[in-house]
Structure 1
Amino acid sequence: MQKIKFTLFSLRALLLAALPFIMTAVVVCGLAYWLVDPAPPRVIDMSTGPANSAYARFAQLYAQELAKNKITLRLQTSEGSQENFDRIRSPDSQIEVGFVRSGSTDPDSAQEQGLISLGSLFYEPIWVFYHSRQELSNLSQFKGKRINLGAEGNGIGRIFRQILAANHLQEADVQIQRSPDQDAADALLRGDTDVLVLSAGSDSPLVQRLMQSSGIRLFDFVQAEAYTRRFPYLSQVTLARGMIDIGKDIPARDYHLISPTVTLVAHESLHPALIALLLQAAQKIHSRADWLSHRAEFPSDRYTEIPVSADAEKFYQHGIPVLQRYLPFWIANFIERMWFVIVALGALLLPLSKIIPPLYVWRIRSRVYRWYGQLRLVEQVMDELPASGRTQLLQQQLSRLDEIEDKVNRISIPLSYAEELYGLRSHIDFVRKRILSLMTEPPPV
């Protein structure tokens, strides 16, 4: 151990020499961590949709994906798209993100209220089921009918009123009902309502139930192309023949549908790192093909009325952030937030680090040089010896010199600096010889 002690450099001296710079870096990084760009919150509030709805099911999947990165997604049920939109834009609400159907929002007011889009997620066609002995080809034929638009807050009412207006119908020309979709479907099957309008994904059990119910027809939007030209938030999709049940040939022909898309809408205060995390979850959940969309068609920065945020656009153009591909989310986020601080510190500390080697050398040599001060005090006493008590003073300095030598012999110093240590020892021996010489000389007269 003694050999190692005298051959290795002094780690303690190196740390003490670098300590001011280490402390500076720690303080600057600490301040930057809290002040430059706050860390993402670990809790997000999301408005979903009615219990057991597609929105609610998707929200659960999002919660599971975010939980993998220790982010809690607090879910709040709602009546649907319109209520989600109102919650996100409300200054009194804690909701930061939710599912909003295109066509149920006012893009201008949404921007003014600080709302952003993270992209569209899936088609949610407008399904119009009705009772009739003969097939209807124009919505104007629904004049005087009892039309159920689902519960208030689901957002479909605003869209369907625009569609009625395009067919020269006013709200007074029909009898609007607002029952929840499940209750409305039961009413349609009983004959208590004539038309059921709902917007739902292709996997909706309610849609599949009505498609297979006798006496119920699905309206074919043969003018789908015209609708999409008139209302840009709508897309034309096709329900292919046999898509629901190939064996039973349901439906028995292709149906043209018009479809808004469901958009992931957030408040602009949502942390950018969480935007990327939500879109990664969306990519896993919505990229699969279904009845109406192709594989990897969603999520998309198209089909959205509210402008897509710059952070979301970056995700669509470049994919998952580079660091998050190889590092856990929180470590990658820390580096992304602090990289400019790290670069700035490097630029600052690189020239300052040139001071560390001289400081290290000074600290090593100071272990030797400090004893030269004690040695000079002994020599000063020798140079000022009085005529009386001379021998006693010399004996005291000799004892003092022995104490200095004993302490010097305990000094731990790297081998590369041993020359200074051995030089000190030879100088102590030189002063001792001088004292002994003076003790043998006769006192001056």
Structure 2
Amino acid sequence: MNTTKLDYSVSALVRMSWPVFIELLLQLLVGNMDQVQLSHFNETAVAAVGNANTVITVVQLTFTVISMAATILVTQYRGAGRMEIVGQIYTLSLCVNGILAAALAGCLLAFTEPLLGLMQVPAELLGEAAIYLRITALALPFQALMLTFSAFLRAGAHMKIIMWITGLVNVCNIVGNAVLINGWGPFPRLGAAGAALSSSIFRAVGMLLMAFAFFRVVQGARVSFSDLNPMPWSLLRRLLAIGLPAGGESLSYNLSQASCLVFVNLMGTYVVTTRMYTAMFANCIYMLVMAVAQAGQVLVGYLVGARDMDGTHKCTMRVLKLSCPITVGLAAVVALAGGSLFGLFTVDERVIALGQQVLIVEVLLEVGRSVNIVLVRHLQAAGDVRFPVVLGIVCQWLIGVGLGWLLGVYLGWGLIGLWVAFAADENIRAVVLFGRWMSGKWRTMKTI
């Protein structure tokens, strides 16, 4: 990428964002397709996989600690023209994420039942949730390495390649689900276990394809254990100094969501199912702003590395103006079509009625979340990594979980009360983060 005349116009953001949007949407479908296809198998399998995927999502966020830091550092060093450090970042990131994934997979396999019990998973869901979680845990190393290679490709602005690979993996996963969930030919009817097996196999395939693409197209692609002898401790500390706070914000959010799932599990299986479908629709809604934010983060990394702070501010404002109104408008459309959307997956009138009400609150929630997604990523890329995580921890737990318990459980508002609390959390954080960005404190942060 040419850093002397870096294009961060609206048209450039769109060109970089649309492949990321397709990639994220397809990546989301790899996990959610299990639940969509299982909805035709039985309702308990859908709720069971929803609980298991909550655990997997939290675990996978630990891999983004290094992957996100690698993206930021690679873009900054490329922007500064210091290519000699980039090879070390590649090797170090892959080794750390590989070792971490193997350790976490072992923990999940050893403590599956206690973990699901801690989440108050209903007894009728426990068996299917446990087998899905165990099989998916075995594929965590492949998922970790796939995310790491994807981060390297994204830092090099190879968004279309990531999109094509993710698309292929998703199509193959759909076919694998069709064969293994319901049984076909010599293959038995496996239900939730079949969905987990299909997803795991094709995540391994995705990892191999990402690695091939990395070595084929990325300039200066190099992975060598000689880069770790002697161990570059200063670079590791730098990865962790960026990655831990950056990943900590997402980790805190997902842990708070997992904690709220305990409240949902106490409300009955149909509420668990409603929450799963609503979360799936919400994820699709904010994929657009996630895509533009990720493209913007890459540009901000290059601009900060080149010390173009005015360009960094203009880029961020353009990302906000481009993505936020579209995201909120899309949420409104989904809310209006809520009954029809829920009707695609279930005939349970309780699920459809409750889901429609929650989607109305979702519109307000997306006002704040669309701002937060952009500003958190851009502050991280600019070196201001601690403020977003501190703010996130305070608001997500005090407002999201605390107010969620008060409204949803204590006052009896149920799932709607939880969503009102989530909306309050997102909008309060949005106001504070916007003030932080406009203060310009990120301009003085130490980067590379």
TM-score bracket for this pair, using the shorter chain length: under 0.3
TM-score calculated relative to the size of structure 2: 0.20
Greater RCO, 1 or 2 (C-alpha within 8 Å, sep 6+):
2
Larger Rg: 1 or 2? 1
- Which structure has the highest helix share of the two? 2
- Which structure has the highest strand share of the two? 1
